[in-house]
Structure 1
Amino acid sequence: MFKKFLSLIAALIVVISLASCSNSSSTNDKKLKVAVSFNAMKELTYAIGKNKINIVTIIPNGTEPHDFDPKAKDIKTLYDSKIFIYSGLGMETWVDKTLKSVNNKDLISVEASNGVKAIKNSDASEIAEHGKYDPHSWLSLNDAKIESKNIRDALTKADPTNKKFYYDNYNEFCKKVDSLNQEYVDKFRTVKNKDFVTGHAAFAYLCRDYNLNQKSVENVFADGEPSTKQLADLTKYCKDNNVKTVFYEDMVSPKVSSTLAKEVNAKTQKIYTIESAEDGKDYLASMKTDLDEIYTSLK
């Protein structure tokens, strides 16, 4: 009798568990399904959509977006989604071809950088391989507002009943962006040195916001180590300008940055490109860290 009682209890637990899972699945099914290309797009999209959306990130953390090649499961993700958000400007070279193979006529695809004043590449080999623009526009707070507006409009188009929710979140996000931006506009005005040294030339849009210059170990697409002459020139620059910090990014090998830092008696310091999720930081926290570390290195 006791064993039958235990069996009944166990069965009830299973039923309750299944019902819970069913309810959870039902809740997720009601959310707007949004596919995004990589982490920076996820951060901006979540800032606007929050708990009204279910985000799937196509490019896994730790994978360089420039080199990504979508798989069959990624096509399925896009087929099942209502919206697809990608950064553009050549960041995701696979998008056009992939979208043509997705049989989802209702999919709303959004190039988040649409409307950004793009920075042109100057290196002929980079242009031939990756296109004529630097794609890292989300690393500008000013341009992040443009990208998040495009995201807001796409969410509203797909889910007009929640328009006020998306607009309110966008306005709140922009207030935080403006506050952070103004803080560092004021701070960078106080420094005479405007040049910092980093591993990956990803910060041109950030530099444009604050009249800074990046001196980089690797190019815009982080796909080649510097020549002996380039490294010698960078070493001389660091010594002549008493550079005390050489930055590096998680998605790029820090080996050359570390070698340079040792040569000029400087420290290495991590900053974020936000291409991959790192250290539990959202978009604004990552940008705050970047700006603070760069400012500190220039004081």
Structure 2
Amino acid sequence: MYKKIISILILMCILVTFSACGNVSTVSSNKTDDKKESQGKIQVVVSFNAMREFVEAVGKDKVEVKTMIPNGTEPHDFEPKAKDLEGLNKAKVFVYSGFGMESWVDKSLKVVDNKQLVTVEASKGFESIKNTDEDEIKEHGQEDPHVWLSLKGAEFEAKNVKEALIKVDPSNKDYYEKNYKDFSTQLDSLYNDYKKKFDTAVNKNFVTGHAAFAYLCRDFGLKQNSVEDVFAEGEPTTKKMEELISYCKQNKIKTIFVEDMVSPKVSETLAKEVGAKVQKIYTLESKEDNKDYIQSMKSNLELIYNTLK
């Protein structure tokens, strides 16, 4: 009897051991599969959220994207640390917008040890809007950097992304071409819908927290006025505030738009002075309200259109 009990216990131990080994083997296999799946994708590093949107729209499940500038961080103020640049040493593609938006890029790339890295300045070749303020030009450069807030600009930047992905992965050229075409069609459809609406609007003026929408204005023949400058720096002087109040009253401004990473205090003060409301608008520098690029821009365009009625 005693020997029988011992035999049963030994058998149970053997079964448990084999079962555990099987589980370990399965877990190990899953980890390996995950690693292979990750390794099979093109490793892409982007500067900020809008660039991530374009890479994912074109690359979809063939890319793995890491964003350098965290959500909630103002890109104009970002300066990368050594740990922020680590991903570039392993990436195949690095995408940034350009036109002075990421002033740190040239300096940072000099310390990156990755000769195979394909670097994409997404706005390269796009017709820029020039800054006119001498202080802005001196500090940030000649161009307004907010290309991605134009539907035409987004289409242009996404095309540059597409060409980079084809360069590093030519075997999937048709895949990237199709995805780009689908994204481009969505952008064109949204543009055409709102071009008709804005063409019929008598009022073309709106007010924002900072001057980020010049390219959008060029798309649709609109005019922005803003509390802060192109690079979201500095509160307005008393004279500037008086001019804004006068501007809002003359143009019957009903809404003052504010952005997620710009202080709303001055905009709220301005809104009270002119009897307007404060309304959030997306700059897509960070992921906001779980909306993708098309959803965010459609929201922006509808909000702006409604203020012009």
Deviation string, structure 1 residues 47-99 (Cα, Å, up to 9, x no partner): 10000011111111111111111121222211100011100000000000111
CA contact (8 A) 2:205 2:251 kept: no
C-alpha separation between the residues in 2 aligned to 1:73 and 1:7? 42
Q: Aligned residue for 2:82?
A: 72
Q: Aligned residue for 1:260?
A: 270
Percent pairwise identity? 56
C-alpha separation between the residues in 1 aligned to 2:28 and 2:276? 58
Match of 2:234 among 201, 219, 224: 224
Match of 1:286 among 293, 296, 302: 296
CA contact (8 A) 2:42 2:62 kept: yes
Is 2:127 the partner of 1:117? Answer: yes
Q: Which amino acid aligns with 1:281?
A: K
SS at 2:45's partner residue?
Answer: strand
Q: State which structure, 1 or 2, has the greater radius of gyration over its C-alpha atoms.
A: 2
Greater shift after overlay, 258-267 or 177-186? 258-267
Deviation string, structure 1 residues 187-227 (Cα, Å, up to 9, x no partner): 00111000001101000000000000001000000011111
Q: Aligned residue for 2:220?
A: 210
C-alpha separation between the residues in 1 aligned to 2:255 and 2:21? 62
Deviation string, structure 1 residues 5-62 (Cα, Å, up to 9, x no partner): 5665455434322321221111010101111111000001111000001111111111
C-alpha separation between the residues in 2 aligned to 1:108 and 1:204? 29
Greater shift after overlay, 37-46 or 68-77? 68-77
C-alpha separation between the residues in 2 aligned to 1:217 and 1:9? 67
SS at 1:284's partner residue?
Answer: helix
TM-score by length of 2: 0.93
Classify 1:235/1:14 alpha carbon distance in 2 versus 1 (closer, same or farther; 3 Å): farther
C-alpha separation between the residues in 1 aligned to 2:221 and 2:52? 28
Q: Which amino acid aligns with 2:48?
A: F
Greater shift after overlay, 55-64 or 233-242? 233-242
Q: Which amino acid aligns with 1:167?
A: E
Q: Aligned residue for 1:175?
A: 185
How well do the aligned residues superpose, as a CA RMSD in angstroms?
A: 1.4
| Structure 2: segments with no counterpart, 5+ residues | 1-8
SS at 2:110's partner residue?
Answer: helix
Q: Which amino acid aligns with 1:261?
A: A
Q: Which amino acid aligns with 2:113?
A: N
Q: Which amino acid aligns with 1:229?
A: K
C-alpha separation between the residues in 1 aligned to 2:91 and 2:199? 45
Offset of residue 239 of structure 1: 2.1
Q: Aligned residue for 2:6?
A: none
TM-score by length of 1: 0.96
Offset of residue 143 of structure 1: 1.4
CA contact (8 A) 2:52 2:65 kept: yes
